[in-house]
Structure 1
Amino acid sequence: MTLIVFGSAIADLVFRVPHLPRPGETVLGEAGAALPGGKGLNQAIAAARDGGDARFVGCVGRDAHGALLRAAALAAGVDVVGLREVEEGSGFACVCVDAEGRNQIAVSAGANRRASAAQVERIPPEATLLMQMEVPPAANAALIARGRAAGARMLLNLAPAAALAPDALRALDLLILNESEAAWIGGRLGQPGDARSLHAALGIGVAVTEGERGVTAVTGEGVLRLPAHRVAVVDTVGAGDAWCGVLAAALDRGLPLEAAMRRASAAGSLACTKPGAAPAMPTAAEIDALLSRS
């Protein structure tokens, strides 16, 4: 099978702070070296570490951060033939993480603004496409149209929340959101921001991750509700990306949705136990070990 992850690659500068800044407040903290991140790259790495045959398609700059991001993908076993270098600087993020592992993130898209659906040269009918919203929405819409025509499975993580053409949303197999993103799109559709209401409004599968309460998914086959795993939280950055990447990898291997969600939920929980985004993506062995204890 083939898993194509189309999305962003972003270098993260993580600040450890005693509490998250309020408007107008300066908080002293500690930061280390830049770490690989970006929703697209995180999800591709998560998929590859869970044994997925992941291909990452996106853009980085011809700079040190671009080299860092490419190296991180290669080290995880991700195919980077579709990763293009452009003149614009690589995407960059400032991540604040407090003592309880909560985070605030500001992102400069940089080279990710140049990502194009044309970089995906061929979409096999058996492929799984996974997308997010840190690249131009028009590029996602174009790729969704091509994927639907090819007969591929299409997953979109609507993160960060941003407008996408209704026809593109309705062409998806599964829309993945957290609670704030679900509330946002629910408001735009004139619906409550829960998985059941969004499924009814869009006519597609919808999965809403709910933090420590777990995840709810609604498809044409019914409702799936899974609890979260209890873990010692260090940093919640990247938890949603671990969930999405492992879910896509599991579906691409032929697992049914419930089994894929169980792996994804374990991966999301495990990502909270380590600092950083891409470096925190768990391995298949770690996921299997957590599931065996549950």
Structure 2
Amino acid sequence: MSLPSVLTLIADRKAGPLKPEAIDVARSLVKGKAPIVLSEGEAVDIPCPTPGPGAASAATIRATLAPYQVDTLLLKTRGRRKAVLVADMDSTIVTGETLDEMAAALGVGEQVAAITRASMNGEIDFETSIEQRVALLAGKSASVLEDVWQNVTLTDGAKELVQTMRKHNARTALVSGGFTWFTQRVAELCGFDENYGNILEITDGKMTGKLGGPVLGPDAKLTHLEALTTERGVQLRAALTTGDGANDIPMLASAGLGLAFHAKPNVKKVIGTQINFSGLRAHLFAQGYRAADFVTD
């Protein structure tokens, strides 16, 4: 009979293999059983009892293993595999911030990046920030969109995450505070079932400095999550969400498994399940998938 909890350890493949010492330390912290290898030298599951009074907390485990550059997720064994995936785009599924990159190419990079930082850190609300940033693009050529797209890079494991979950009948959605011009292309590249974002208004080949519809911000991200789970016929606990910024917090906090992915400090303060070292493959290991089960190109 399986134990009720599991501690998953994931190493950053680029930084080196998962060290046996790290596994031993982790087992000691949670009184865990022998590790189950999910990916040799990269990820293991350590079955363990439900943490009781005086047991090491998830935060303590994460801090203790951090010197080994290992991500740790202490989760319930039941219901690990999720039926819905909702992912942020910028700095999550793709490595950069598309709006910041557009602005840099157009000579307003510093102004836009400053607003982006303030928004992602929760210093100003998202709706205000996106309107201020888009206003700085007024009159600029929309050809910059294609230029930025040529340099967009997927985060390690993005395709594997989406396509593996889809193979196992999960509904997958890219929900971004960025622009639909990019979300449509990224969604197609990764294989997402659907995508949502803000509409950038363009007239006669130039950006007007306005959005073509209502702002898709944190509340809208949560609304999409709720709608997707309802359509899939499951509860929120059957959903996995991932993102890095303040506008992702509502959907991260509401899902059964919300992963703060290389997130901003204010996000880490409120979301305890975190991926700080490894790539998006960690989201599959968190669900108990083995690397041999991944769908790869």
Q: Which TM bucket (shorter chain)?
A: 0.3 to 0.5
TM normalised by structure 1 equals 0.37
- Relative contact order, higher structure (CA 8 A, sep 6+): 2
Tell me which structure has the larger Cα radius of gyration.
2
